[in-house]
Amino acid sequence: MQRRTFLQAVGGLCAGFQSLARDNVSEGRLLHSNWMSAKWKIDPRCILPRGSKGEFDSRVVGDPCIVWDDEVATWRMFYFASSYGDPGAARADVAGMALSKSAEDIQPGDWRKIGQVLLSNPEDIAGSKQGHKWWVVMDPKRMNHAARIAGSYWALFVTTGPKVIQAASASRLAGPWTVVKEPILVPGTTPGAPDGKHCDTPTAYWSEDLAKALIFYKAYPLRAQPAQPHSPFGSSSVVAYWHPREASAAKGPQILLPGKGTAWNRGWIGGFQLLYAHDTKSWYSLTNGSPTPPEDISNREPAPSLGGWGVCKASRPDHGWEVDTHHSPFAYPENLSEEERRAGLGVNFWRHHLLATPGGRARIFFNSGTYGTEQMYSLVPQTAA
């Protein structure tokens, strides 16, 4: 496995912004029961840059999933790593990994790449034999803490041709991980299935009440959806139920649909991070989407992609969801500052992921830039004056 020294200097725009003084952007120390109430701003410095030419992450670094790892006493980040379009470059089997400097040090300059996720049986990856969008099954009421199910950690990831969702297990978050050969979620075959083309972008949380994992995934329809009159081909968020002893997940309802109203994600809906407010005992989420509907099945994610919030009106988070429009979205590409554009941010604000530390620091990580050449950036909460 390739090892790299602690955030080696790399060429390009991102490296220049790594040299900014740490106090140029406030590192908010705000304890929020519900992080929707914070005001967020972009930190233009890269959290993780693309790798050098020939490396497995030379083209894209994004789609973060961050969990606390007791074994190394810090945060472990799994990220989407791609070298597609870099001839002769190494290829990631499923994801790259990085570690934070400490439990509280999570800003730019505090993360070091440590190579690829280690698999014991990469030959069991389906389809293209390459996975992406890795997500560790979480404890829903302990933000960014992995759940242990029957003594093991579990993760989900996507493979293509068409897109399906597979699972893997490990005794350590560092791996090695063992891939379950048969996918647990595949495109639906019934007429009008909301996921008739692809099952994509999973997140998952262990429910003690149900003794199952709740999986939230991005469903791409193959045929026009009558319930989405203004975006008939837009993707929706669907929930599924799964236990590792089961060969496949049981699909549930669509929980967020595009094509209704004037919300910022009325065109299509994507990633979903489940969050819990302990004082009000209520659920909310970080979501992604776009106001631009796909015209047909050929282009499934027309720009721009945006990040924002969802709110749940039910006691159990497998139904009762609404799109937040008061605090969302975080930003539109046309409102980027010249400094942010020079740093490499662009049309894509994708896969937002919140990390809050025990001491009250917080970041929302996301990837941005031109599609296929993205790097990882973050949002920070603005402290009170």
pTM assigned to the model: 0.92
Query: Tell me, what's the pLDDT at 27?
Result: 45
Query: Tell me, what's the pLDDT at 57?
Result: 98
pLDDT in tens, 326-343: 999 999 999 999 999 999
Give how far Cα 7 sits from Cα of 77, 239, 279, 280, 356, Å: 14, 37, 38, 40, 22
Give just the sign of the alpha carbon dihedral 251, 255, 259, 264.
negative
Q: What is the DSSP string of 7-76?
A: T---SSHHHHHHTS-GGGS---B---SSGGGS-EEEEEEEEEPPPPTTSTTSSEEEEEEEEEETTTTEEE
Is pLDDT at 11 greater than 80 in this prediction?
Answer: no
Q: Give residue 33's pLDDT band: very low, low, confident or very high (50, 70, 90).
A: confident
Query: Tell me, what's the pLDDT at 8?
Result: 38
Is pLDDT at 166 greater than 80 in this prediction?
Answer: yes
Closest CA to 180 of 163, 164, 195: 164
Stretch 38-65: mean pLDDT, rounded?
A: 97
Q: Give residue 372's pLDDT band: very low, low, confident or very high (50, 70, 90).
A: confident
In degrees, to the nearest 5, what angle opens at C-alpha 216 toward C-alphas 166 and 247? 35
pLDDT over 90 for what percent of the chain?
85
Classify 334 as helix, strand or coil: helix
Query: Tell me, what's the pLDDT at 298?
Result: 77
Is pLDDT at 19 greater than 70 in this prediction?
Answer: no
Query: Tell me, what's the pLDDT at 30?
Result: 52
Pairwise CA distance, residues 225 & 231, whole Å: 8
Query: Tell me, what's the pLDDT at 296?
Result: 86
- Write b or e for each residue in 22-32: b if 16 or more Cβ atoms lie within 10 A of its Cβ, otherwise e: eeebebbebee
Pairwise CA distance, residues 45 & 43, whole Å: 6
pLDDT in tens, 59-114: 999 999 999 999 999 999 999 999 999 999 999 999 999 999 999 999 999 999 99
Can you list the domains of the chain with their CATH numbers? 38-381 (2.115.10.20)
